[in-house]
Structure 1
Amino acid sequence: MSALLPAGIDPTGAAALVLLSVFTSALSASVGIGGGVLLLAAMTFVVPIEALVPIHGVVQLGSNLGRVTLLAKDVAFRLIVPFTIGCVLGAVIGGLLVTDLPENLLLLIIGVFVTATTWLKLPPLGRGERGILAAGGLFATILTMFVGATGPFVMMLMRQSGLSHAGLVATTSMGMTIQHALKVSAFATLGFAFGAWVPLIAAMIAAGFVGTFIGARLLKSLPEASLKLSLKIVLTLIGAQLILRAVSDFI
């Protein structure tokens, strides 16, 4: 298995990420959020920090695309068009801004972002006005170049349009598919070498589709409130651990 992995990637850790992809994709397909953030946090233990955001982006592109395929009839495309316009501009700006930040700083940013998006209740942004959706797409795409997982923010943005839970999950997944595709394209343009990561990425995407299939079947039957509370607790612990890892060198 080691021959199929990039240098420095532990086979046990890689196998754990593949298995985790099943769970996180099922979580996102059923609850709507949390899977991408949880996977990103877990990947910080296995994937080098300089490869974290681009590799997570490809895996999440595959996961969200699979979710859109299964839930296509529920996508509110009227919200996607202005959001996409903002995402395109955000990818251009984010590609110009992204730099090689120190590992501790990236861990700190991700840890704070995970914790903040878990507990902060953001103010309403209106009911799907095109300008707000475009601005949200621009901001989210710039942000995702640095922190990777902006699903909670995008879902909060889409929620303002009064969609059903299935429609919200499907439309958010479509928005994230577009955002991740643009992000991956930006990193490829900047010269990131994805080739060595293809076997691991393919395994994680395939596992993610299995999880998506399971989650889509459970979409209307799971106790959403209990799942969200459990997820908040897990994400808080992960966020705190990332912050502690980031500041450990200064203590």
Structure 2
Amino acid sequence: MDELTLGFISFCTSVITGVIGIGGGLLLIAILPSFLPLNALIPIHGLNQITSNLSRAYFGYKDIQFQVIPKFLVGSFIGVGIFMYFLKTISLTYIPLLIGVYILLSLWSRNFNTKIMKYESYYVIGFFQTGVSVIVGTTGQLAMTKLLKEFKDKNKVVATSAILMSITHILKITVFIYFGFVFYDYLSIVTNMVVGSILGSYVGTKLRNKLDSKKLIFILKIFLSVLAVKNIISIG
């Protein structure tokens, strides 16, 4: 039953990201602690997000701005190489706490977001987005902030963000494979989530210009905050 539930959740979160361009990954990483052991949270989330982002990029292929990819890729390689060291030193017990605090800060702290918005270079964005994602799971708003400034077309922003996030999650998954995580042990869960994310990307792409994104974002922020607090409290 958990497999089907996670497949449906993956579908819903993928629809959200397909419409807004961001938010679904944060929502999913906030929900997963209720279903998965701590050591599986970030690798399973990352594998699912690869599918979600690649499918969203595929459905919006004509809108991808490929010129930003090389700089982001260089920064990502350096970031993942450095931050994988910190993964060895962090107790798994505190992963939900880190995720919860990160979500609350990114949603409600103007000072926090002002600081992360300073990383305007795609080299630097790649470094932090991919590096930090190894620890907290998803950091898509870093690239999204830059893309929103450069491209006024929502479809270009969403499609390009999807390909950059795909790079982030592919490199992150490589780290967990290096550390010995076995995805085969979660094959049924992964399969259902992957199918859900692909369907969600398709539906989200179709709905992007038909739904009120502002209302959806507000509801999403409230729901995410509740889940983030739940993650923080679970540590106690």
Q: Which category describes the TM-score, using the shorter chain as reference length? A: over 0.9
User: In structure 2, the residue corresponding to 1:98 is in which secondary structure?
Assistant: helix
With structure 2 as the length reference, what TM-score do the two structures score? 0.93
Q: Shift of the alpha carbon at 1:196?
A: 1.2
Counterpart residue identity of residue 171, structure 1: T
Which residue does the alignment assign to 1:229?
218
Cα RMSD for the two superposed structures: 1.6
Please list the CA deviations of residues 195-249 of structure 1 after superposition, one character each: whole Å capped at 9, or x if unmatched. Answer: 2122221221111111111100011111011111111111111111111112x2x
Note if contact 1:66-1:209 (Cα within 8 Å) is conserved in structure 2. Answer: yes
Counterpart residue identity of residue 47, structure 2: V
Distance 2:105 2:2 in 1: 27
Which residue does the alignment assign to 1:66?
55
Q: Which has the higher helix share?
A: 2
- 2:73 aligned to 65, 75, 84, which one? 84
Which residue does the alignment assign to 1:3?
none
User: What does 1:212-223 correspond to in 2, within 5 Å?
Assistant: 212-223=201-212
Counterpart residue identity of residue 134, structure 1: Y
Q: Shift of the alpha carbon at 1:31?
A: 0.9
Distance 2:219 2:226 in 1: 11
Note if contact 1:53-1:148 (Cα within 8 Å) is conserved in structure 2. Answer: yes
Q: Shift of the alpha carbon at 1:55?
A: 1.0
Counterpart residue identity of residue 239, structure 1: A
Q: Shift of the alpha carbon at 1:184?
A: 0.7
Distance 1:45 1:153 in 2: 27
Which residue does the alignment assign to 1:120?
109
Alignment of 1:157 onto 2:146: yes
Please list the CA deviations of residues 10-44 of structure 1 after superposition, one character each: whole Å capped at 9, or x if unmatched. Answer: xx333211110110000000011110111111111
User: What does 1:4-15 correspond to in 2, within 5 Å?
Assistant: 12-15=1-4
Alignment of 1:201 onto 2:190: yes
Distance 2:108 2:156 in 1: 23
Distance 1:242 1:152 in 2: 20
Distance 1:241 1:95 in 2: 27
Which residue does the alignment assign to 1:5?
none
Note if contact 2:48-2:190 (Cα within 8 Å) is conserved in structure 1. Answer: yes
User: In structure 2, the residue corresponding to 1:178 is in which secondary structure?
Assistant: helix
User: What does 1:89-100 correspond to in 2, within 5 Å?
Assistant: 89-99=78-88
**Structure 1 stretches of 5 or more lacking a match?**
1-11
Task: Name the stretch that deviates more: 23-32 or 196-205.
Answer: 196-205
Alignment of 1:33 onto 2:22: yes
Distance 1:61 1:83 in 2: 16
Count residues in correspondence: 232
Distance 1:143 1:219 in 2: 28
With structure 1 as the length reference, what TM-score do the two structures score? 0.87
Which residue does the alignment assign to 1:7?
none
Note if contact 2:3-2:188 (Cα within 8 Å) is conserved in structure 1. Answer: no
Q: Which has the larger radius of gyration?
A: 1
Alignment of 1:145 onto 2:145: no
Task: Name the stretch that deviates more: 113-122 or 202-211.
Answer: 113-122
Note if contact 1:125-1:160 (Cα within 8 Å) is conserved in structure 2. Answer: no
Note if contact 1:86-1:136 (Cα within 8 Å) is conserved in structure 2. Answer: yes
Percent sequence identity over matched residues?
A: 29
User: In structure 2, the residue corresponding to 1:150 is in which secondary structure?
Assistant: coil
Q: Shift of the alpha carbon at 1:103?
A: 3.9
Which residue does the alignment assign to 1:8?
none
Which residue does the alignment assign to 2:162?
173
Note if contact 1:14-1:46 (Cα within 8 Å) is conserved in structure 2. Answer: no
Distance 1:100 1:192 in 2: 17
| CA distance 1:156–1:140, change in 2 (3 Å) | same
Please list the CA deviations of residues 172-204 of structure 1 after superposition, one character each: whole Å capped at 9, or x if unmatched. Answer: 111000110111111111211112122221221
